[in-house]
Structure 1
Amino acid sequence: DGDITRYRYDNPHSDLPCATEDATGSRKTMTWSRYGQLLSFTDCSGYVTRYDHDRFGQMTAVHREEGLSQYRAYDSRGQLIAVKDTQGHETRYEYNIAGDLTAVIAPDGSRNGTQYDAWGKAVRTTQGGLTRSMEYDAAGRVIRLTSENGSHTTFRYDVLDRLIQETGFDGRTQRYHHDLTGKLIRSEDEGLVTHWHYDEADRLTHRTVKGETAERWQYDERGWLTDISHISE
């Protein structure tokens, strides 16, 4: 009961609250436009943040109480293309014809980019001059990651799309086993075997490592998780 939050509404026909109050008495207030856009937010200390929107409902500016503002620009497709602060620092965004984000250009001119395949899946990302690539199978699942230094992680799946094996950059292989209902029941990490146990309601109850209980999960009569005990590893 200590986690109760109360909501107040000034319009009986709206599901947007005008105020919230938690169990400690901390109160936050909000004002909204008639179109459901957040116009202002006042936190429990009285700090007010205001928001501007364009005619399409997109947020165009955020004004903070200390005088700092952030401005947002969009293209004709409604895609965010620039964010600029009061000091003139601007971050720009570029997209391909499909609408996928292809580049983020920071105020200092540094560029992070992403390339996509014909199905819109990211196949190469570059951050800080370092590149990572991804390969997919015919089902669209990641089967190989190549890190910035050229090392690889590979993934295998079963016919139900569940991950069953992962071989990492360091060559270490981890395997995963599931029961008929899809629950993880066993994992192997280079000889270290972990079993996952469930109750009749399919709730996770405990995890054992090499036969020793490592963690326990407890629930109340409503089925809500009440405690996680870390016993050993």
Structure 2
Amino acid sequence: MLASMKDWMGETKIERDSCGNPVSITDHNGRTVRYEWGSMGQRQGMIYPDGTKISWKYDSLLRPVQMNRTAAGRDPLWTQYQYDGQGRLSEKRTSGGYITRWQYDENGLLGELSHTDASGILDRFQYTYDAAGNKTAIKKERRGFPEESGSYQYTYDGLHRLTGVERDGKPLRSYQYDTFGNRTVMEDSVKESRGKP
């Protein structure tokens, strides 16, 4: 099936397969992007006008487990994905040596997020929540950013609105609200801002 759309830039042609998936899109300059699809409707490949190809592999649950990028004259690139027993994304690895990991607590909330390279940890964030799901603490470890690293604590009022932020036990900011729930005051160590988020 071939369809076309016209706008002020020109005509775009879209070719679709019997399932309605686009197999090629050609813009007004004649540049074509081609698509490849699996039997379950999963996108398996994209080929750009310059020949660069992006391809995907999936597991038995049709979750992407690897993405590859190939281009003439360039090193191939890839990204791999892993999932935990609950089907949540738990790890991403790249051909550049970077790894991102997600860990979850017993309530399914994000408990830790980390980024590493060949030298070790780039960033690590550990999260704590209260019974209502409000984030009450974050422990931050950031390579090269000591001013942002540390332990942050968050407090809330009875309506679960953020009222205070501390870093390593020292106050950073406090917030006040009007009867309609609008934030009216933000106080920090150097200034006070009224009426603005």
Q: Distance in 1 between matches of 2:177 and 2:189?
A: 17
Indicate the residue corresponding to 2:114 in structure 1: 167
- Which of 81, 104, 109 does residue 134 from structure 1 map onto? 81
Indicate the residue corresponding to 1:202 in structure 2: 160
Q: Which runs of 5+ in 2 are unaligned?
A: 71-75, 142-148, 191-197
- Which of 92, 108, 111 does residue 50 from structure 2 map onto? 108
Per-residue deviation at 1:114? 1.4
**Corresponding letter in the other structure for 2:127:** Y
Q: Distance in 1 between matches of 2:133 and 2:113?
A: 18
C-alpha RMSD of the superposition: 2.8
CA 1:80–1:229 in structure 2 vs 1: closer, same or farther (change >3 Å)?
A: farther
**Corresponding letter in the other structure for 2:16:** Y
CA 1:87–1:188 in structure 2 vs 1: closer, same or farther (change >3 Å)?
A: same
| Structure 1 runs of 4+ with >6 Å offset | 226-232
* Offset from partner CA, 1:55-93 (integer Å, 9 cap, x none): xxxx9443222x422222221111122211122111111
Q: Distance in 1 between matches of 2:167 and 2:27?
A: 51
Identity %: 24
The answer to whether 1:62 aligns with 2:5 is yes
* Offset from partner CA, 1:123-176 (integer Å, 9 cap, x none): 111235210101111111122221222342322211211111223214243211
Q: Distance in 2 between matches of 1:144 and 1:91?
A: 30
Indicate the residue corresponding to 1:148 in structure 2: 95
Q: Distance in 2 between matches of 1:68 and 1:230?
A: 54
1:82-101 paired onto structure 2 within 5 Å: 82-101=24-43
Q: Distance in 2 between matches of 1:180 and 1:145?
A: 30
Q: Distance in 2 between matches of 1:230 and 1:105?
A: 51
Per-residue deviation at 1:118? 0.6
Q: Alignment partner of 2:152: what SS?
A: strand
Q: Which has the higher contact order (CA 8 A, sep 6+)?
A: 2
The more displaced of 212-221 and 196-205 is 212-221
Q: Distance in 1 between matches of 2:85 and 2:28?
A: 47
**Corresponding letter in the other structure for 1:168:** H
* Offset from partner CA, 1:76-129 (integer Å, 9 cap, x none): 111122211122111111111111111111111110111111111111112352
The more displaced of 89-98 and 211-220 is 211-220
Instruction: Give the TM-score normalised by the residue count of structure 2.
Output: 0.75
**Corresponding letter in the other structure for 2:5:** V
